[in-house]
């Protein structure tokens, strides 16, 4: 099992140019882990947060990073080897995973590579009918949408609020999804439709045809219309853009409704929410292979489609991060691995 592989590593923080495609030690699976031969990698915001030194986090939250470090969390591939005590997955199984999140925030997830080792509990069976690029694009965004909207799936403490995050009923309800064309947003839209909600999608106008195709009942182009000025009486807002500006959506909710900010840092809405009789709740996505195996059926039968914005070879990860920095991502950016 010893040897070298190609990986994308950081030797310091900075812009996309600090992503270096180079030789790195090939990992070995420890007890409880599998070694995945990676066919594709999904690109997510934490990849560039790490690359950039987590400057978006409060200093006390910034993980200590030891260089060199391999970036990335999400993969799809085939199991190459298993740790001694692994019984549930076997060599040759096709799998997809979000590896060690959030435990690997300091760079211990190591997905931008030809091989990654992963705790077996983080690894799900890959949907058989979609390709590795689509499967690799799914885990973090899909688990985020699933854990916010369908099933939290764990009892770990919530770093974002004192209480456990609880999904709310969706059938027959009206759900507004902001950032609806992005990674989390386009999957949250589809899960809400699957559960029987009416969905208002907020995004820039270029995404309208896609959002209607994915099931949006109404599309609001935020470049021309402020959703918070025209929408009233919704049951749930999923804000996949988030930040302090998320509080503007409180006005769109009916009493008893809920705001789920996917990126809640900087949001201070507790007093206003209490006055309006609405709930604000968030959670941090956690690795969960069992949930990925469960959701695979929805990806296989086309209930949930993973949209690919763009694809780059692993060696060109820098170009993928440059694409991400331009914003307006439609779906997901992926890296393909030889
Ligand atoms: N809580 C968690 O554990 C968790 C998990 C995953 C992600 N996140 C966070 O959630 C956020 C979204 O992640 P993502 O992967 O979905 O990002 P993404 O793929 O970059 O999607 C962001 C989307 O927002 C749209 N957008 C940008 N400005 C907007 C605005 N003013 N109004 C409406 N839409 C706007 C963008 O396209 P257009 O502008 O063209 O519409 C883009 O499609 C990130 O901040 C990420 O860190 C949190």
CATH number at residue 26: 3.90.180.10
In a domain, 81, yes or no: yes
pLDDT-wise least confident of 2-6, 19-23, 212-216:
2-6
The alpha carbon of 144 and the centre of ligand 1 are apart by a number of angstroms equal to 12
Q: Is 154 domain-assigned?
A: no
Are 113 and 7 contacting, i.e. CB atoms less than 8 angstroms apart?
yes
Q: What is the pLDDT of residue 1?
A: 46
Residues 133 and 251 in one domain: no
- Are residues 8 and 30 part of one domain? yes
43 and 121 in a single domain? The answer is: yes
Going by CA atoms, what residue is nearest to atom 42 of ligand 1? 182
Query: Where a domain ends, among 239, 264, 280?
Result: 280
Residue 338 pLDDT? 87
Residue 156, both tokens: 């770990």
pLDDT of residue 61: 86
**Residue 152: inside a domain:** no
Domain span at residue 218 reads 166-280
Take atom 14 of ligand 1 and give the residue whose Cα is closest. Answer: 183
Segment 147-172 shows an average pLDDT of 97
Q: Do 95 and 26 share a structural domain?
A: yes
CA 141 to ligand 1: nearest atom = 6
Neighbours of 126 (CB within 10 A): 27
What is the chain's mean pLDDT, rounded? 97
Do 59 and 117 belong together in one domain?
A: yes
Whose C-alpha lies nearest to ligand 1, atom 15?
183
- CA 327 to ligand 1 center in whole angstroms: 9
Structural domain contains residue 146:
no
Distance, in Å, from the CA atom of 103 to the CA atom of 99, rounded to the nearest integer, reads 9
Q: Are residues 11 and 108 in the same domain?
A: yes
Domain presence at residue 150: no
The verdict on 10 and 128 lying in the same domain is yes
**Which of these three, 280, 299, 326, is where a domain ends?**
280
Mean pLDDT along residues 64-72:
97
Q: Within this chain, do residues 127 and 8 fall inside the same structural domain, yes or no?
A: yes
Distance 302 CA to ligand 1 centre (A): 23
For residue 63, being part of any structural domain is answered with: yes
Please tell me whether residues 51 and 131 are part of one structural domain.
yes
Q: Of all residues in the chain, what percent carry a pLDDT higher than 70?
A: 99
**Distance of CA 331 from the midpoint of ligand 1 (Å):** 10
Residue 158 lies in a domain: no
Q: How far is the CA of 202 from the centre of ligand 1 (A)?
A: 11
Q: 298 and 249 share a domain?
A: no
Q: What is the pLDDT of residues 167-211, one digit of tens each?
A: 999 999 999 999 999 999 999 999 999 999 999 999 999 999 999
Confidence at 301, pLDDT banded by 50, 70, 90:
very high
Phi, psi at residue 22, to the nearest 5°? -160, 175
Where a domain ends, among 280, 299, 328? 280
Give me the pLDDT at residue 58, please. 86
Domain count within the chain: 2
Atom of ligand 1 nearest to the CA of 330: 43
| Domain co-membership, 218 together with 97 | no
Residue nearest to atom 24 of ligand 1 (CA): 179
Tell how far the Cα of 136 is from the centroid of ligand 1, in angstroms: 18
Q: Indicate if 25 and 134 belong to the same structural domain.
A: yes
Q: What is the pLDDT of residue 2?
A: 64
Residue 31 CA, ligand 1 centroid: distance in Å: 36
Identify the residues whose C-beta falls under 6 Å from ligand 1.
Answer: 44-45, 140-141, 144, 178-179, 181-185, 202-204, 207, 222, 240-242, 262-263, 282, 284-285, 327-329
Residue 161 lies in a domain: no
Q: Which tens digit of pLDDT belongs to each residue from 239-251?
A: 999 899 999 999 9
pLDDT score, position 56: 87
CA of 143 to the centre of ligand 1 (A): 15
pLDDT tens readout for residues 90-137? 999 999 999 999 999 999 999 999 999 999 999 999 999 999 999 999
Residue with the smallest CA separation from ligand 1 atom 35 is: 179
List the CATH number of the domain containing 218.
3.40.50.720
- Give all strands (DSSP E) within the chain, no chain letters: 4-10, 20-25, 33-43, 69-70, 74-82, 94-98, 115-119, 123-125, 174-178, 198-203, 218-221, 234-239, 253-261, 279-280, 308-313, 332-336
């Amino acid at each position: 099992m010893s040897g070298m592989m190609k990986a994308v590593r950081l030797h310091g923080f900075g812009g996309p140019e600090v992503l270096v495609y180079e030789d790195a030690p090939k990992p070995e699976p420890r007890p409880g882990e599998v070694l995945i031969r990676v066919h594709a990698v999904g690109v997510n915001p934490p990849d560039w947060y790490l690359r950039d030194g987590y400057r978006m986090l409060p200093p006390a939250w910034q993980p200590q990073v030891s260089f060199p470090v391999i970036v990335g969390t999400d993969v799809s591939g085939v199991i190459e080897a298993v740790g001694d005590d692994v019984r549930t997955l076997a060599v040759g199984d096709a799998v997809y995973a979000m590896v060690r999140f959030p435990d690997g925030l300091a760079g211990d997830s190591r997905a931008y590579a030809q091989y990654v080792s992963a705790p077996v509990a983080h690894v799900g069976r890959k949907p058989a009918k979609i390709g590795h690029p689509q499967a690799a694009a799914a885990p973090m965004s899909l688990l985020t949408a699933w854990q916010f909207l369908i099933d939290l799936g764990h009892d770990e403490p919530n770093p974002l609020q004192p209480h456990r995050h609880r999904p709310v009923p969706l059938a027959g309800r009206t759900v507004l999804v902001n950032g609806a064309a992005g990674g989390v947003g386009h999957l949250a839209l589809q899960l809400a439709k699957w559960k029987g909600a009416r969905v208002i999608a907020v995004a820039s106008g270029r995404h309208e045809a896609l959002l209607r195709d994915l099931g949006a009942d109404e599309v609001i182009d935020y470049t021309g219309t402020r959703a918070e000025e025209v929408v009233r009486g919704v049951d749930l807002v999923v804000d996949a853009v988030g930040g302090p500006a998320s509080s503007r959506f409180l006005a769109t909710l009916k009493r008893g409704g809920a705001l789920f900010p996917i990126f809640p840092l900087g949001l201070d809405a507790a007093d206003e929410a209490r006055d309006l009789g609405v709930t604000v709740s968030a959670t941090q996505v956690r690795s969960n292979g069992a949930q990925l195996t469960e959701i695979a059926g929805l990806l296989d039968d086309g209930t949930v489609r993973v949209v690919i914005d763009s694809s780059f070879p692993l060696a060109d990860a820098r170009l993928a991060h440059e694409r991400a920095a331009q914003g307006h991502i439609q779906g997901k950016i992926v890296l393909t691995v030889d």
